[in-house]
Each structure stands twice: as structure tokens, then as C-alpha cells.
Structure 1
Amino acid sequence: MNSMLTNNQQRTICSQLGRVKLQLLYKASIHGFTGAAFHQRCDNYSPTVSVGYNTSGYVFGGYTKQPFSQSGQYVWDDQAFLFTFSEEKLIKYPVSDPTYAVRMIGNSGPYFGEALVLVYKSQALVYADPAYYYSYSAAEMHGNDLNLTECEVYQVEGKVT
């Protein structure tokens, strides 16, 4: 599997986390744009970086130190954040309420609060509501384009600081 993240984008994400590297676990175009495929490849791995790519060329996603599951519950994570790239610059949006940082839903991909869901309801779609638990501009993050061309999830290997 080849990553769609450029080397510079990978370095930039890793520099935010510590002395780490990214290992690709899930690629929706290969494994399927379904919650089942995402959970089969990603449950119980942590920490992770989830990345969405849309038809407008935006690269965006989120980080969590919590392992994904299908419990249906919200999971507390004070280190979680959403991000987007503006050219090669990373813009971070930290979680505003760590109690609701990540939600573990079986029929969707990475689910950050109610703010950002990649592979929403097992479709190549994004659900985005910047009013919940993360504060961001939808136009800045993904250009208001909710159609995914790809979703990738990476395990973060090494010591996150």
C-alpha cells in the first residue's frame, strides 16, 4: 500500500507528535469505504492519525491516542486534534471537550466527536459539524467538500511526546 501523504506532510505530522513514524493500516480505496473494513483494520491500534482526501484536493483529518472500537461510546482524549494542510503548512484544531474527543461507531470510519467523521455511514463521505467539541472553519479544513476520494489511517509508532 502506498501512502497518499507526501513525505513533507508525513514529516510535518510526525513533528507535532514527537520522534515517531507512521505505518499505514487502512486505505479505503483498497479495503473498502465501509465502517466494517475500517474497524477490521484499525480497531485496538493506537495512537492513530486518520487522513481524508476530498475531490477538491484538501488533505485533512485527526489524531487520537485512543484505540478505535465499536462500543458506541465517546472516549476521552485530551491530546486529540483535527488538522488540515494549507499547502505544506499544518493547521491544528485541538479538542475543546476531551470527554467527547472520539466516538466509537461501528458503521463509520474515524469519528472525531460530532465534528468530523471520515467514511460516514459506510460511504465515501465526510460528516462535518464544527460546532461540536472541536472549533474549525469548514471552508478552511475541507473547502465544504464532503466527498472523499480516499481515507487512510496510520498507526503512530514511537514515543509520542
Structure 2
Amino acid sequence: MNSNLTSVQQRALCSELGGRVKLKLLFKASIHGFTGAAFHQRCDARGPSISVGYNSSGHVFGGYTSAPFSQTGQYVNDQKAFLFTFKGDALLKYPTTYSNYAVKMVGNSGPYFGESLILMNGGAAVHSNPGQYYTAFTPAEMHGNDLQLIECEVYQVEGNSSSYTVSILIYYK
């Protein structure tokens, strides 16, 4: 499996996570399937995570959680959680504003960041609700109002004596 992230995007994400980390690709929806079951089979209990989306509009976006994925149906408190998008090579970060609802562990979807951003929401689609549990973003800035996924990648981040997971979603028109 090959990553769709550019080396510049990988460096920006790794820098945000503390620098000396390595990304290990765990899941790629175009190979494993655009289903919550496929995502959870490969990603549950693998550590903290970042979820990223790509679309045909050229947007790369997602979210980070330090909590490992599961299927409990419960919200997880995560003060370190954030959403992000790339503007050119620059990483724009939207921190959680209500950490008690930062991440929800839902079995029938992909990465679920509060009610603000849900990746692989019932297939190759995204749910976006700006300002709900995260610093407000505009849909145009985050994903160009394009909610159709072309890819979802999930990475485990290794290093700094911690493990993290990064999920990457790719959108194309």
C-alpha cells in the first residue's frame, strides 16, 4: 500500500505530533473498503489517530485523536484532539472546544470527530458540522464543500515512545 500524502504533508503532520515520529499505513479504503467494519477491523485498539480526507477539489483534511478507536458507541474525552486541513503546504489546526465529546466510537462509520467531522459516514462520504465541539471552520476551507470521498487512509504513528494512528481521507470529484 502506498500513501497518498505528500512528503511535505507527512512532515507537517509528524511535526504537529512531536516531530520524531513515523507513519505506518494500516488501512486504505480503496483496498479494504469504504465501510465502518473494514475500518474498525484494521484500526481498532491501534493507538491514537489522525483522520485525513482528500477530494477531487484538491482538499486534504481530517482530525487527530490520542484515543485508540473502538466500537463502544460512547464519546471519548480527548483534550489533545484537533481537526485540520491543508492550505497549500500549510497545516491549519482546529482544536477541540469541548473535549468530552471530541471523538465518538461508532462501529458503522469511519473516524468520528464529535459531531463536527465524520469520515466514511455510511460509505465514501463525509458528514461536516462546523463549530460542533471543535473550533469553527468553514466547509469551503476544510473540504471545499465536497463531501464525496475517493480515499481513506489510516496510519499508526510510531515514535517518541508513543504510538498514534493517522487516518487519511481522500476526496475527488
TM-score (norm 1): 0.96
Does structure 1 residue 11 correspond to structure 2 residue 17? no
| 8 Å contact kept, 1:59–1:85 | yes
Does structure 1 residue 130 correspond to structure 2 residue 95? no
Q: Distance in 1 between matches of 2:74 and 2:10?
A: 30
Secondary structure at 2:31's aligned position in 1?
helix
Q: String of CA shifts for 1:71-122, please: whole Å, max 9, x gaps.
A: 000001000000000111000000100000000011100000000011002x
Q: Distance in 1 between matches of 2:10 and 2:106?
A: 27
Does structure 1 residue 20 correspond to structure 2 residue 21? yes
How do 1:100-111 residues align onto structure 2 when only pairs under 5 Å count? 100-111=101-112
Secondary structure at 1:92's aligned position in 2?
strand
Shift of residue 128 of structure 1? 0.4
The amino acid of 2:102's aligned partner reads A
Does structure 1 residue 140 correspond to structure 2 residue 104? no
1:78 alignment counterpart: 79
| 8 Å contact kept, 1:46–1:64 | no
Secondary structure at 1:120's aligned position in 2?
coil
Secondary structure at 2:106's aligned position in 1?
coil
| Identical aligned residues as a percent | 67
List runs of 5+ in structure 2 lacking aligned partners. 163-173
1:55 alignment counterpart: 56
| 8 Å contact kept, 1:22–1:154 | yes
TM superposition outliers: structure 1 runs of 4+ over 2 Å: none
| 8 Å contact kept, 2:48–2:69 | no
Q: Distance in 1 between matches of 2:114 and 2:124?
A: 19
Q: String of CA shifts for 1:48-81, please: whole Å, max 9, x gaps.
A: 1211111211100111110000000000100000
Secondary structure at 2:97's aligned position in 1?
coil
2:168 alignment counterpart: none
| 8 Å contact kept, 2:115–2:132 | yes
| 8 Å contact kept, 1:60–1:83 | yes
Q: Distance in 2 between matches of 1:80 and 1:13?
A: 13
Q: Distance in 2 between matches of 1:79 and 1:56?
A: 29
- Number of residue pairs the alignment of both structures matches: 159
Does structure 1 residue 158 correspond to structure 2 residue 151? no
